[in-house]
Amino acid sequence: MTMTATRPAATRVRQGATPRRHGTRWALYALLAVMSLLTLGPFIAMVIVALSPRGEPTVPVQWPDSLTFDNIMQVLNASGFVEWTLNSLIYSAVSVVIILLTASMAGYAFAKKRFPGRDTMLWTFLATMMVPFQATLIPLYVLVSDFGGADTFWGLIVPTLANSQAVFLMRQFILGLPDELFDAAKVDGASELRVYWTIVVPLTKPILATLGVFVFLWHWNDFLWPLVISQSDATRTLTVGLTVLKTEELQWSMLMSSAAISAVPCLLVFFLLQRYLVNSIAMTGLK
Amino acid sequence: MRHRLRDPVTGLLFVLPMLVLFLIFRIFPTLGAAGMSLTNWNIGGEWSFIGADNYTRLVNDPNFWSSLRATMVYTVIYVPLVMAVSLGTALLLNSIVFLRGLFRGMLFLPYVTSFVFAGIIWRWIYEFDGLINGVLAKLDLGPVAFMERAELVLPALALVSCWKGFGYSMLILLAGLKAIPGSYLEAAKVDGAGPWQRFRGITLPLLKPALFFVLVIETIASFQVFDTIYVMTGGGPAKASYTLIYGIFERGFRFWEFGYAATWGMVLFAVVLVVSLIQRRFVGKENT
């Protein structure tokens, strides 16, 4: 994770403000419009296919004579779909809450506390970021399933909570908080839990919100771990469920409807928090 | 300062929950992967120590070499593609003011979706009667079987990953571009440097740290490609898209050879480690 510094908005140089020929300006916008169309095209095509009556030709993309919600309704009524969605919600929401809590606690301790082994621990946390999750997939699966975690919610959720990136982000942010705040609270006789809850948590709210959004997206979109650990509809998440749908003989209109529904929470998060998400990536390098 | 020294226990207590999660679910499996790769561990949980046999088997396994090759070819296609697209769009966004936020948002949109989602949409786009072939048919051009032709499948998959992921690199590069003082570019302009000269002489050197960061994360990401392959090709056709991670998955969860699958995992670990170490070396130099 790198800290890519952005210049404050006030000193930002508006390079576009330098005089330029109109032709160049139009060319830039035309290029951007083409790029945006290529980026949005698949979404638009998906929505059209999802809303078209079945059997109606949709290729190449043409607006159908009539739109229908039949496909969407049928997907929602299909066995498993609602259950998978709920499972994804549980997987994401529980992970967000626990990671925010544990990572901010650890981040606070790493930033503002001294205890034996602190730097070794921090260094180890950092080092594990270099180990790809997939390289440890097999032992992790054996470990979790040996403890009866296969096809359970704890088996799905708990192993994904060890998130070093979250710890580092919190530590970096809390390092920047002034020591005097914590000293003053201590002089006033506040307990450590109280300091954490009344100083650390409120002051880290912006970064907690950012991290929360990212953890939600990571878990909602996660695939490989749910694929190996969930074996039935009871714990199957939406991403895994979609690939189960794929294998059955399904019409594209149905599959597109399922895909569209699965993306709704991500797109909602995006539309509500776009500016926020975008700025936080630039500033913190959160992936 | 005083209370911190006086109170080593609370620090440990606050780290404890994450530390426990870490030891059990990160450190232990990491060591376990190395250990397991030296055994013939299978689904029943029975195992015996077989030394380097898995590694010998690996170097003699044509599947492994073809998967390594597929992974490398994919990386060689994907990384330049995503670098070019993210740098190009970042430069475009950096040179406009009006509607910048809107364009940035539209270009970034696919990033928030999942690779499974991207895989499903693009499978339809590449289908025999899908979007691209529909357009080709209008132009009286023959259909192309993107997912069935060995030489087309990796570029087609790289395009999907690029579509889904370039927004992230674009934002990192855009932040890097914004950090370049405009006065440098103005001064060069006054000295008569054209746009290309300004780009080569000022923008590119100052953007180098951001470009390098993006290069490394995208290289690592390309070694970890899996979701789209699982959804779109299943490793085919004729193992043309059978990558390292697909190998780990299939060895582990189709043939249930955990020991041998762990050996494949060690290769992935080694490759990613080398890339990360190169990054550390170069970024270290940049900062001094």
**Which residue, among A24, A59, A188, would best test binding to B if mutated, counting the most B CBs under 10 Å from its CB?**
A59
Closest B-chain CA to A221: B114
Give a yes or no: residue A6 inside a domain.
Answer: no
The 3-state secondary structure of chain A reads CCCCCCCCHHHCCCHHHCCCCHHHHHHHHHHHHHHHHHHHHHHHHHHHHHHCCCCCCCCCCCCCCCCCCHHHHHHHHCCCHHHHHHHHHHHHHHHHHHHHHHHHHHHHHHHHCCCCCHHHHHHHHHHHCCCCHHHHHHHHHHHHHHCCCCCCHHHHHHHHHCCHHHHHHHHHHHHCCCHHHHHHHHHCCCCHHHHHHHHHHHHCHHHHHHHHHHHHHHHHHCCHHHHHHCCCCCCCCHHHHHHHHHHCCCCHHHHHHHHHHHHHHHHHHHHHHHHHHHHHHHHHCCC
Provide the pLDDT for residue A1.
Answer: 39
Indicate the burial class of B21 (C-beta count within 10 angstroms; 0-12, 13-18, 19 or more). buried
Q: Does the beta-carbon distance from A143 to B32 stay under 8 Å?
A: yes
Choosing from A12, A46, A67, the residue where a domain stops is: A67
Cα separation, A212 vs A148, whole angstroms: 29
Which tens digit of pLDDT belongs to each residue from A127-155?
Answer: 888 899 999 999 999 999 999 999 999 99
Q: Give the three-class secondary structure for B267.
A: helix
Low-confidence winner among A148-162, A249-263, B49-63, B211-225 (lowest mean pLDDT): A249-263
| Burial state string for A130-150 with b = 16 or more CB within 10 A and e = fewer than 16 | bbbbbbbbbbbbbbbbeeebb
Same domain flag for A34 and A86: no
Q: Can you give the pLDDT at residue A106?
A: 96
CB contact under 8 A, A32 and B92: yes
Which of A12, A37, A67 lies at the terminal end of a domain, its last residue?
Answer: A67
For the record, the structure tokens of B104 come out as 């940035």
Please indicate whether, in this complex, the C-beta atoms of A114 and B25 are within 8 angstroms of each other: no
The answer on A263 and A225 residing in a single domain is yes
| Residue A206: cis peptide before it, omega within 30 degrees of 0 | no
Domains belonging to chain B, first-starting first, are 62-284 (1.10.3720.10)
**Cα(A266)–Cα(A268) distance, integer angstroms:** 5
pLDDT above 90 as % of chain A = 54
A-chain residues within 8 Å CB-CB of B273? 130
Q: Are A4 and B210 in contact (CB under 8 A)?
A: yes
A100 inside domain: yes
Overall domain count for chain A: 2
The mean pLDDT of chain B is 90
Region of B127 (left: φ > 0; alpha: ψ -120 to 50; beta: rest) is beta
Interface probe for B, chosen from A120, A138, A196 (most Cβ of B below 10 Å), is A138
Please state, in angstroms and rounded to a whole number, the distance separating the CA atoms of residues A12 and A57: 50
Is residue A112 domain-resident? yes
Burial class (CB in 10 A: 0-12, 13-18, 19+), A3: exposed
Contact A127, A170 (CB under 8 A): no
pTM: 0.89
Predicted local distance difference test score (pLDDT) of residue B242: 96
Higher model confidence: residue B275 or residue B226?
A: B226
In a domain, A16, yes or no: no
- Do A49 and A123 fall within a single domain? no
What residues in B contact A60, CB-CB < 8 Å? Answer: 131, 134-135, 137-138
Residue at A129 is within a domain: yes
CATH number at A207 reads 1.10.3720.10
Our measurement of the distance from residue B73's CA atom to the centroid of its chain's CA atoms, rounded to an integer in Å, reads 13
**pLDDT digit string (tens) for B168-200?**
999 999 999 999 988 888 899 888 888 889 989
* Distance in Å, alpha carbon of A244 to nearest chain B alpha carbon: 10
Highest average pLDDT, of A32-46, A173-187, B133-147, comes from A32-46
**Residue A108 belongs to what domain range?**
79-247+257-285
d(CA B37, CA A135): 11
Same-domain pairing of A87 and A188: yes
Q: What is the DSSP letter of B39?
A: B
Q: What is the pLDDT of residue A189?
A: 82
Query: What are the counts of helices (DSSP H) followed by strands (DSSP E) for chain B?
Result: 15, 0
Q: How far apart are the first and last CA of chain A?
A: 9
Q: Are A83 and A56 found together in one domain?
A: no
Phi, psi (rounded to 5 degrees) for B286: -60, -35
Q: Which of A18, A42, A67 is the last residue of a domain?
A: A67
Residue A17 lies in a domain: no
**Are residues A45 and B125, on separate chains, in Cβ contact within 8 Å?**
yes
Residues A32 and A142 in one domain: no
User: Nearest residue on chain A to B101, judged by CA atoms?
Assistant: A275
User: The tokens 């030296």 sit on which residue?
Assistant: B38
Residue A18 is assigned to a structural domain of this protein: no
B-chain CB neighbours of A2 within 8 Å are 209, 213, 283
| Partner-chain residue, chosen from A46, A135, A228, that has the shortest CB–CB distance to B265 | A135
Residues A255/A246, Cβ–Cβ less than 8 Å: yes
A98-117 pLDDT, tens digit each: 999 999 999 999 999 988 89
CB A111 within 8 A of CB A167: no
Do residues A167 and A205 share a domain?
yes
**Do A45 and A92 have their domain in common?**
no
Q: Are residues A138 and A53 in the same domain?
A: no
Residue A230, pLDDT > 70, answer yes
pLDDT of A249 above 60: no
Tell which of B120, B186, B219 to mutate to test the A interface (max A CBs under 10 Å): B120
Picking from A128, A164, A274, the nearest residue to B105 by CB comes out as A274
Which amino acid makes up residue A191? S
Q: Which residues of B touch A162 (CB under 8 A)?
A: 18, 21-22, 24-26
Question: Is the residue at A227 inside a domain?
Answer: yes
Distance CA B2, CA A184 (A): 12
Q: Are residues A144 and A236 in the same domain?
A: yes
Q: Choose, out of A6, A26, A32, A271, the residue to mutate when testing the contact with B (most B CBs < 10 Å).
A: A32
The reply to whether A222 and A264 lie within a common domain is yes
- A255: chain B residues, CB-CB within 8 Å: 120, 124
The closest CB to that of B109, out of A46, A112, A270, belongs to: A270
Looking at the structure, do residues A120 and A230 belong to the same domain, yes or no?
yes
Nearest to A42 by CA among B81, B123, B155, B85: B123
Closest Cα in chain A, distance from residue B151 (Å): 23
Rounded to an integer, what distance in angstroms lies between the CA atom of residue A156 and that of residue B230?
20
Q: Give the helix/strand (H/E) hosting B30.
A: helix B28-36
Distance CA(A279)–CA(B5), nearest Å, equals 37
Residues of chain A with C-beta less than 8 angstroms from the C-beta of B94:
15
Contact (CB<8Å) B210/A4? yes
Enumerate the residues of chain B whose CB falls inside 8 A of the CB of residue A16: 95-98
Distance in angstroms (rounded) separating the CA atoms of residues B288 and B286: 6
Which residues of chain A lie closer than 8 angstroms to B248, CB-CB?
Answer: 134-135, 137-138
How many contacts (CB atoms, under 8 Å) link A and B? 314
Give residue A287's pLDDT band: very low, low, confident or very high (50, 70, 90). low
* Comparison of pLDDT for A273 and B27, the residue scoring more: B27
> Cβ–Cβ of A134/B181 closer than 8 Å?
no
- Report d(CA B90, CA A280) in Å as an integer: 16
Of all residues in chain A, the one with the smallest CA distance to B261 is A138
Mutate to test the interface with A, among B4, B15, B162 (most CBs of A within 10 A): B15
B22–A128 C-beta distance less than 8 A: yes
Is-cis flag, bond preceding A132, omega within 30? no
Beta partners for B49?
B39
**Cα torsion angle, B94, B95, B100, B104, sign:** negative
